[in-house]
């Protein structure tokens, strides 16, 4: 398990509605349909921006890479 995820699970106080919720079935998907849509849309957005910047980079591919990293970082924050 990820260290930050385990810290978040260990330090958050449980809410009453979470404790009263029934367990998910074994066949339930790990990623919901909404999450899957967001992942796909973010991947398409990053691919379009990266492919748009690639020809204009002219030997400085570092800017393209940094743009990709910043898009990933801001996606993490929202």
pLDDT digits (tens, 9 = 90+) for 2-60: 777 777 777 777 778 877 888 888 898 989 899 999 999 999 999 999 999 999 888 88
How would residue 76 be classed by pLDDT, with cut points 50, 70 and 90?
A: confident
Alpha carbon 38 to its chain centroid, in Å, reads: 8
Q: How far apart are CA 41 and CA 33, in angstroms?
A: 12
* Contact (Cβ atoms closer than 8 angstroms) between residue 51 and residue 61: no
CB atoms within 10 A of CB 65: 13
Report pLDDT for 1. 52
| pTM, two decimal places | 0.64
Length of the chain: 78
Determine the Cα angle at 38 with ends 44 and 35, to 5°. 140
């Amino acid at each position: 398990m990820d260290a930050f995820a385990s810290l978040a699970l260990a330090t958050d106080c449980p809410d009453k509605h979470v404790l009263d919720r029934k367990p998910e079935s074994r066949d339930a998907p790990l990623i919901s349909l909404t999450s899957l849509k967001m992942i796909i849309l973010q991947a398409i957005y990053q691919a379009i921006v990266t492919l748009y910047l690639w020809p204009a980079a002219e030997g400085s591919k570092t800017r393209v890479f940094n743009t990709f990293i910043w898009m990933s970082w801001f996606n993490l924050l929202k």
